[in-house]
Structure formats: structure tokens, C-alpha cells
Amino acid sequence: MGRSRSRSRSPRKHHKSKHHKRSKSRERSERRSTSHSKTYKNVEKVKEKSSKSRKRSNSVSSTSSSDASVDLRSEKHLRKKSRLRKMDEVERLAEMERQRRQREAEQRLIEEETAKRIEELVKKRVEEELEKRKDEIEKEVTKRVEEAKRIMEKQMMEDLERRREKQREEEKRREEEEQRKQEMVERILEENQRKIEEAQRKLAEERLAMVEEQRKMDEERQRLRKEQEKRVKEEQKKILGKNNSRPKLSFSLKPVL
């Protein structure tokens, strides 16, 4: 903390140095202006004296030559005065520009030094705070890591349970599909068996009908054969009754197919 107080006093030193430099520059400018003013006054006095002496010596001259001489001297005086004034103005502007640049340079140095010291103070303060809160930060980091770990484990368990549930649903769906297929196969087999049994029943009925028809045909043939035999016997009896002397004849009839 002692270092920070010593650093905080340094900007005031810069400020005093800056003020001192400005005072020196102002004094130099004032001395230069005073010197120019004195020179100008001396020149004026010399001019006045020379003018008075010339006036006294040339008092007998004509009015026209005296006026021309006065105009020439006045013009020279004005040119010299204008030149001196321009020189003073240029020097004044140059001095002002130099002072402005010097002030800007000093201001930049002060700002850079101030920013640097502020940055150092902030860095030091941050390091001190981090050192003070090191244990607290480590505990907070550990807490957050554990919390993130619990959340991750929970998410993993939920994901695993979802996958298991999906597998169970898929297995159930496959079983239901297999059951539907099995039932369909059984229905097809039952339908085929029913058709086979129906065909067999019809075939049996047709066979029975054929057997019955054959039986009826056999009975009809038997009946016809008996009737034929009966007629033959009756005819034989008639023949035998008319002519008893003739020998008996025997007839046999072949069954009609």
C-alpha cells in the first residue's frame, strides 16, 4: 500500500514541472517582447534625433525637398516597423506552437504513466483478491464440477433408460409382428385345411353318389334280369302246356351288362 501512495504523488510532481516549464516559457517570451520593444523605442529615438538634426540643417531647403525626405524616412520607418512586427508575430506563433506541442507531449506522458500505474494497481489488487479467495474459488470450482458430474450422470442414466425402453418397445413390436405373422400363417393353414376338407367331403359325396348310382344300376340290371327270366319261364310253360310230348328245353339268359 506504501507503493501505491508514492505512485499517487508522482502526477503532482509532473504537474509542478509542467507549470514550472510554462512559467519559464512565458518569462522568455516576455523578455523577448520587452527586448524588441526597447530596441524599437531606441530606434525611434535615434530616428527622432536624426530627423530633428536634419530638419535643423535643412531648414533653409525648399518645401518640396523637405516633404520628399520626410516621406522617404516615414516609408522606411513603416517598413522596418512592419518587418519587426512580423518577426515578433512569427516568433510568438512559433513559441505558442512549441508550447502547445510540449503541453501535448507532457499530457501524453502523464496519461500513459497514469494508465500504466492504474493497470499495475488493478493487476496487483486482482492478484491480492485472487490470493485471498483462492480457497473459496477452489471450493466453488469443485462444487460446480461435482454438480456438472451429477447432471452428466443423471443425463447418462436417463439416456440409458430411454435406450432400454426403446429396445423393449422394439422387442415388443417384433414379438407382436411375429405373432401377427404366425396368426396369419395359421389362418392360411386353417383355410387351406378347410378347403382340403371341403374338397375331400365333396369328393366323398361324389363317390357316394357314384356308388349309389352304381348300386341303383346293379339293382336295375338285377330286376331286368329277373323279369327276363320270369318271362322266359312263362313262355316255356305256355309252350310246354300246348305240346307235352316235346322234351323240355332249358334256357339260360346272360345277365345284361
Q: Are 79 and 24 in contact (CB under 8 A)?
A: no
Mean pLDDT of the chain: 75
Task: Convert the pLDDT of each residue in 84-142 to its tens digit.
Answer: 777 778 888 888 898 889 999 999 999 999 999 999 999 988 888 878 777 888 888 88
> Is the residue at 162 inside a domain?
no
> Is the residue at 212 inside a domain?
no
> Is the residue at 234 inside a domain?
no
> Is the residue at 156 inside a domain?
no
> Is the residue at 249 inside a domain?
no
Percent residues over pLDDT 70 in the chain = 66
**Number of domains comprising the chain:** 1
> Is the residue at 200 inside a domain?
no
> Which pLDDT value is given to residue 29?
53
Please tell me the distance from the alpha carbon of residue 172 to that of residue 8, in angstroms, as a whole number.
80
The set of residues, in sequence order, having a beta carbon less than 8 Å from that of 110 and lying 6+ positions away, is 11, 14, 15
Task: Convert the pLDDT of each residue in 136-172 to its tens digit.
Answer: 888 888 889 999 999 999 999 999 999 999 999 999 9
Q: Which residue segment(s) compose the domain that 28 sits in?
A: 2-53+66-132
> Is the residue at 22 inside a domain?
yes
Task: Convert the pLDDT of each residue in 213-222 to its tens digit.
Answer: 998 899 999 9
